[in-house]
Amino acid sequence: MALHLKTKWRNRGPKTIEDRATVVASNIWRIAQDTCRHMEIEGYKLGSDTQVAGVMTELMSFLVQIADRVVYGQLSEDDRSRFVHALAKNLARITSNNLAEFVGPGKYIHAFIDTLNARSKDYAEFEFNDMQPSYTFVRYLGEKVSLAMQATDSKWVLEQVVDVEAPVAIKAVKKMVGAALGVKVS
């Protein structure tokens, strides 16, 4: 079933849920990159390409959960499932392509999907009310990013993620999901 959006940038005809997930995935990748860049500007050393990939994987896993929670109850369960599956598949492909280029050959798709699946189970325990994740939801992201950055000896990572980075990323992904799927985000 194709959705029809009323937004200007989507009026070129019906697009599938999978097409829309591709757009959202590309933007989630960009949001994760921007978050990492901002953290480095703020003095948080991310370390090697592999370590940056770990931080980005945590950020993307979190943002997939935000996207899923936003569409929950606004799309049919079939459309929601197709959207989240396509989102994960596209992010795994993007991650794999980038890691192959910067780190070298490897089995990155499976590692990304394994992390995403593990985080999906973890984030399922946290509340998301009024289109906002609970403090524990966001704090969990901060803990995971802090662990991914452990080797860099960066202090205050958890606080930076919870207080500064996560709110900006949440706002950006909600806006993107709303525009791509025509769902309410506030």
pTM > 0.85: yes
Closest CA to 112 of 25, 46, 53: 53
Planar angle of CA 158, 160, 165, nearest 5 degrees: 115
Percent of the chain past pLDDT 70, that is, above it, reads 90
- Model pLDDT for residues 157-175, shown as the tens digit of each residue: 999 999 999 999 999 999 9
Query: Tell me, what's the pLDDT at 6?
Result: 38
In 10 A of CB 79, how many CB atoms?
A: 18
Burial environment of residue 43 by CB neighbours within 10 A (0 to 12, 13 to 18, 19 or more): exposed
Query: Tell me, what's the pLDDT at 163?
Result: 97
Closest CA to 147 of 167, 128, 161: 161
Confidence of residue 153 (pLDDT cuts 50, 70, 90): low
- Model pLDDT for residues 24-70, shown as the tens digit of each residue: 999 999 999 999 999 999 999 888 888 899 999 999 999 999 999 99
**Residue 103 zone, left/alpha/beta (φ > 0; ψ -120 to 50; rest):** alpha
Paired strand residues for 15: 3
**34 phi and psi angles, rounded to 5 deg:** -60, -40
Query: Tell me, what's the pLDDT at 150?
Result: 83
Confidence of residue 75 (pLDDT cuts 50, 70, 90): very high
